[in-house]
Amino acid sequence: MKYSRLTKEQFEELNQEFSTFLATQAIDQAEWDVIKTEKPEIAEQELDVFSDLIWEGVLTKAVYLEHFSKNHIFLFHCFDTYVKSIVLKSLVPETDFLTREGLQWLSDNMFTDTIEMKVGKKEFTDERNVSIFGLIQQGAFLSDGQLYQQINSIIES
């Protein structure tokens, strides 16, 4: 398995897609029920293959990621062979970017000496999608890129 198995909730949301996936392998609902009870190892393999297909599609389309922690915000813009990053760090220890108040504080103090801002670029060392998946496993999530674009446009002007 290249990525990780989808959660039960994700499988439930992708029920129609999973049914279509099974149908492409000539497996209908009745046969799937038999496989699950009589050949659980094959059922596990099918779940893993489907999970990887879904992840591959999602990761291929991924352009922006964000990762928030108490004192840091990591913003990523993913390209084919590299990723650009903007890292915001609060130099005020009691700031908490995981709260509404912390984000308001960031907005009010963005360009003061209480915020450290670093910009970077890193070539992917692994395959692009594997690298992006690694960021997601560390807590990043897909975003629309609005925050990255806003900060980047200010930096570049």
Q: What is the pLDDT of residues 5-41, one digit of tens each?
A: 999 999 999 999 999 999 998 999 999 999 999 999 9
Across all residues in the chain, what is the average pLDDT? Answer: 94
CB 120 within 8 A of CB 113: no
Reported pTM: 0.87
Q: How far apart are CA 115 and CA 110, in angstroms?
A: 6
For residue 110, the model assigns a pLDDT of 86
Taking only the tens place, the pLDDT of each residue in 109-127 is: 988 999 999 999 999 999 9
Q: If DSSP codes are grouped into helix, strand and coil, which group holds residue 46?
A: helix
- State the angle between helix axes of 128-137 and 40-61 in degrees (0 to 180), rounded to the nearest 10: 100
Average pLDDT value for residue range 128-144? 96
For residue 41, the model assigns a pLDDT of 95
Share of the chain above pLDDT 90, in %: 94
Q: How far apart are CA 69 and CA 9, in angstroms?
A: 25
Q: How many CB atoms lie within 10 A of CB 107?
A: 8
68 bridge partner residues = 73
